[in-house]
Amino acid sequence: MKNFIYSLLLFLMMLSTAHAQVPDTLPAFKGMSKMENNQAFTSDSLSKKGTNILIFYDPGCGHCQELASEVGKSLNKFKEHTDFYFIAMQEKGQVEGMLNMFAKELIGKPNVHFLHDPTGQFILAFNPKNFPFAYIYNAETGKEIKHFNGEGKLKKLMPYLDIRH
């Protein structure tokens, strides 16, 4: 029942923002918390260096699981100050289940963060249309580098990320 309510809420929010644009600079947001300790998390909590990648996902989504798995297997390819923020509306137990099954490599990494968004603040601020939604931006300037709606393949995101050479 809880999943149905989340899905319905997500659908209604996406429907209401159907004509809205993805912001070209990082919008302010609040109302999220860190999965590991429930500490409040806002746009001011994001890294101020390098590149930040915000990934809005559903732990039960196959494309989302694939993207998380590929990011986990590729973490050593990214330069320092490349931070990944995985944002879900679902509870911690569902997120942990997805990680343990598909992306154990992400657990406990200092540049990988899991956020809980119980009220859909990400949807209101970023206007995603599909899962997973990835928003890549420059942490120093707040300018969007690129965004992807529904892209589950890391290779599509790679040209826009800071890669070690």
Is the whole model's pTM more than 0.75, yes or no?
A: yes
Pairing of strands 133-138, 112-116: unpaired
Q: What is the dihedral of CA 83, 89, 94, 97, to 10 degrees?
A: -20
Reported as a single tens digit per residue, the pLDDT across 35-75 is 999 999 999 999 999 999 999 999 999 999 999 999 999 99
